[in-house]
Structure 1
Amino acid sequence: MIEVSVKKVENNFVIRWQLLRIEIPSSDILDVRLDDTYGGEDQDAIRIGLPYGTTDRVFINTAKQNYLVFTSNPSAIISKLSA
């Protein structure tokens, strides 16, 4: 399985998964938390990663768009985005 990667580049966070590359300015991030629902609370959120029963979901609330990241390593993603 290909895991979602998150990197900080200057003042932006770059989220990559397969051919997808999303850049989010760190100043736009309002909240980062685990989402306990299976499909995500926000139906309009951009989904990143493979949704299956054993993955955790990280919800990223930004000023412009919300994202739902399906991952097997949520603590690493939350700590990178919260730094």
Structure 2
Amino acid sequence: MLGLDVKKVDQDIIIKYQLSKIVIPIADIVSVSLDDTYGGKEADAIRIGTPYGTTDRVAIQTKTQNYILFTTNYTQIMNTIHSAMEVR
């Protein structure tokens, strides 16, 4: 795995990037949206991926933490998370 990998496993969203693995409970996700700023709007967000000028930014807001995913495949990531949220 070279890039960012986002999957639904049981009741969690698992984000893997390089040697990192982040587990976000689906029940904790408040919103998922695109962030059009270069470094992300939330100063305290956990940033995952490499922020190139051509990458898209997916912002995940949870009850306790915010995440910004830098990706070139935002459609797949958004679809994975939104479909997981619909099932809960």
Please indicate, yes or no, whether the TM-score normalized by the shorter chain is above 0.5.
yes
| Unmatched tracts of structure 2, length 5 or more | 84-88
Q: Which residue of 1 aligns with 2:45?
A: 45
Q: CA deviation at 1:19?
A: 0.4
CA distance in 2, matches of 1:78, 1:25: 16
Count, aligned residues = 82
Q: Which runs of 4+ in 1 moved over 2 A?
A: none
Q: 1:4-83 alignment to 2 at 5 Å?
A: 4-83=4-83
Separation in 1 of the partners of 2:13 and 2:49?
16
Unaligned runs of 5+ in 1: none
* Other structure's SS at 1:80 match: helix
Q: Distance in 1 between matches of 2:81 and 2:4?
A: 13
Structure 1 Cα separation of the partners of residues 3 and 54 of structure 2? 13
Kindly provide the amino acid, as one letter, of the partner of residue 8 in structure 2.
K
> In proportion to residue count, which structure has more helix?
2
Deviations 1:18-51 (A, max 9, x none): 0010000000001001000111000100000011
Q: Could you state the TM-score of these two structures normalised by the residue count of structure 2?
A: 0.91
Task: Give, in whole Å, the separation in 2 of the partners of 1:43 and 1:52.
Answer: 18
- TM-score of the aligned structures, taking structure 1 as reference length: 0.96
State the secondary structure of the residue aligned to 1:52.
Answer: coil
